[in-house]
Amino acid sequence: MNHHVATDLPLDLQYFERDGLPRHGLPGSAYTSDAFWARETSTLFPRGWTFVGFAHELDRPGDVRPVAVGGRPVLLVRGEDGALKAFHNVCRHRCLKLVDKPGNRGRLLKCPYHAWAYDLNGRLRSTPYFGGSEHHEQEGFDRSEHGLVPIRTGVWHDWIFVNLSGDAEAFDDFVAPLARHLDGVDFSKLQVVGVIDLGVIETNWKFLMENFIEPYHVQFVHATTTDQPLTDHYTVVDGRCLGSAIDVADDHHKKDESANTLAVSSRYLTLFPNFVFGRYFPDQLGVHENTPIGPGQTRQRRAIYTTNDQPLGNDDADALMALWRDVHREDHEICERLQEGRKSDIADGGGVLSPHWENSVRRFQEFVVEAVS
Ligand code: FES
Ligand SMILES: [Fe+2]
């Protein structure tokens, strides 16, 4: 990559750019400072395809879900034509955040402040008394110019992405580097087991991503929840698809135990910036929704799927959800301590990265620098 980056970055990259192995990581301020967070919210998130939610949660026409992209309010809507749409979640009258909770809103999205109403295509349909006590119209004001502002949207299976700037690469091209690692997944049999709300984690969103794509920590942090020897892992660095993988010799033998441990072949893959996709052989998938809400806070949910024709019984589903809660808790404790450590001046050098196990992390950090430059 091109290491000449804009000099106006709110980051000191002298260690990050130093040549020779092992490479240094990003300085602490990339995770802790308001200035860098402000930079990410004005560049990295709006310019890319940011993952914002699960399509199955907007099933019926009129279903809505407010989400955030780099702190900006965005609204997901299931239209009357069945299509998923995204809009800036802002009333065009006085810019109130239009929808504040998920649910079904019927055919009209009505603003609670002065009752302006929009249809599911975002068209402004009513502006009561805007022109006076007997007039809904106002000279010089054209409703057709004040509809909700649409946002470019891409849906891949159950996963919804938005591109605020409107000029990111074609959506299919964005997804392709991940899709090509998923041979043998039968998406026609995709079934949702459940969605776990993991709450607000006191950590920068990048730590959750970096932690997911390096296999180095697994044997230490997840000693009781997984049985995946380090030697069998390898990293994946393939364009915008970053992650790690493990091939376990005999998945079939382990299948009966798979609800209790993760001793199966797995793929831990991401698409930059924030899409997280786990594949657990033979037929389980997991997707994390990481919503960055500030430099030191990220909301996380996880959807669990199967891709076979055998729906899990309630007990099996509960056991699976419990396992994943435990695994996430282990990762969250680590990520929260990474956040604490980055507040020290010692973190200016960014630590060092194993060229063997953390080249995926290094590439992720290079994408970050590129995206904010
Ligand atoms: S701010 Fe929405 S109707 Fe006034
Ligand atoms: Fe982990």
Residue 326 falls within a domain, yes or no?
yes
pLDDT at 160 over 80: yes
Measured distance CA(169)–CA(154) in Å, rounded: 11
CB 178 within 8 A of CB 271: yes
User: In this structure, are 264 and 187 located in the same domain?
Assistant: yes
Q: pLDDT for 95-140, tens place per residue?
A: 999 999 999 999 999 999 999 999 999 999 999 999 999 999 999 9
CA nearest ligand 1 atom 4, residue: 114
Residue 106 falls within a domain, yes or no?
yes
Q: How far is the CA of 186 from the centre of ligand 2 (A)?
A: 26
How confident is the model at residue 200, as a pLDDT? 98
**Ligand 1 close to Cβ of residue 91 (< 6 A):** yes
**Ligand 1 close to Cβ of residue 192 (< 6 A):** no
User: In this structure, are 142 and 194 located in the same domain?
Assistant: no
185: buried, middle or exposed (CB in 10 Å: 19+, 13-18, 0-12)?
middle
Domain total in the chain: 2
**Position 2 confidence tier, pLDDT thresholds 50, 70, 90:** very low
**Ligand 1 close to Cβ of residue 93 (< 6 A):** yes
Query: Closest ligand 1 atom, CA of 95?
Result: 1
Q: What is the mean pLDDT of residues 42-47?
A: 97
CATH number for the domain spanning 70: value is 2.102.10.10
Q: How far is the CA of 62 from the centre of ligand 1 (A)?
A: 20
Residue 282 falls within a domain, yes or no?
yes
How confident is the model at residue 1, as a pLDDT? 43
pLDDT at 312 over 90: no
Residue 11 falls within a domain, yes or no?
no
User: In this structure, are 245 and 330 located in the same domain?
Assistant: yes
CATH number for the domain spanning 298: value is 3.90.380.10
Residue 252 falls within a domain, yes or no?
yes
Ligand with the closest atom to the CA of 324:
2
To test the ligand 1 pocket, which listed residue (88, 94, 143, 148) has its Cβ within 8 A of the most ligand atoms?
A: 94
Query: Closest ligand 1 atom, CA of 116?
Result: 3
**Ligand 1 close to Cβ of residue 118 (< 6 A):** no
Q: What is the mean pLDDT of residues 13-28?
A: 97
User: In this structure, are 64 and 146 located in the same domain?
Assistant: yes
User: In this structure, are 186 and 334 located in the same domain?
Assistant: yes
- Domain final position from 154, 172, 199: 154
Domain extent at residue 122: 53-154
**Ligand 1 close to Cβ of residue 146 (< 6 A):** no
Neighbours of ion ligand 2 (CB under 5 A): 331
Measured distance CA(330)–CA(217) in Å, rounded: 11
Separation in Å, CA 82 to CA 240, 327, 366: 30, 36, 39
**Ligand 1 close to Cβ of residue 58 (< 6 A):** no
User: In this structure, are 150 and 188 located in the same domain?
Assistant: no
CA nearest ligand 1 atom 1, residue: 94
Ligand with the closest atom to the CA of 262:
2
- Domain final position from 108, 135, 154: 154
More confident residue, 272 or 248: 272
More confident residue, 7 or 361: 361
How confident is the model at residue 261, as a pLDDT? 64
How confident is the model at residue 44, as a pLDDT? 98
User: In this structure, are 275 and 342 located in the same domain?
Assistant: yes
Residue 348 falls within a domain, yes or no?
yes
Q: How far is the CA of 332 from the centre of ligand 2 (A)?
A: 9
User: In this structure, are 275 and 341 located in the same domain?
Assistant: yes
Q: How far is the CA of 248 from the centre of ligand 2 (A)?
A: 17
User: In this structure, are 192 and 145 located in the same domain?
Assistant: no
How confident is the model at residue 9, as a pLDDT? 87
Q: What is the mean pLDDT of residues 334-358?
A: 97
Residue 298 falls within a domain, yes or no?
yes
User: In this structure, are 203 and 307 located in the same domain?
Assistant: yes
Which residues, in sequence order, are bridge partners of residue 303?
195, 287
User: In this structure, are 133 and 185 located in the same domain?
Assistant: no
Ligand with the closest atom to the CA of 91:
1
DSSP 165-212: TS-SSPHHHHHHHHHTT-TT--GGG-EEEEEEEEEEESS-HHHHHHHH
Residue 214 falls within a domain, yes or no?
yes
CB 297 within 8 A of CB 200: yes
The pTM is what?
0.94
User: In this structure, are 81 and 129 located in the same domain?
Assistant: yes
Q: How far is the CA of 85 from the centre of ligand 2 (A)?
A: 33
Q: Rounded to the nearest 5°, which phi and psi values hold at 319?
A: -65, -40
Q: pLDDT for 249-298, tens place per residue?
A: 765 445 444 445 677 899 999 999 999 999 999 999 999 999 999 999 99
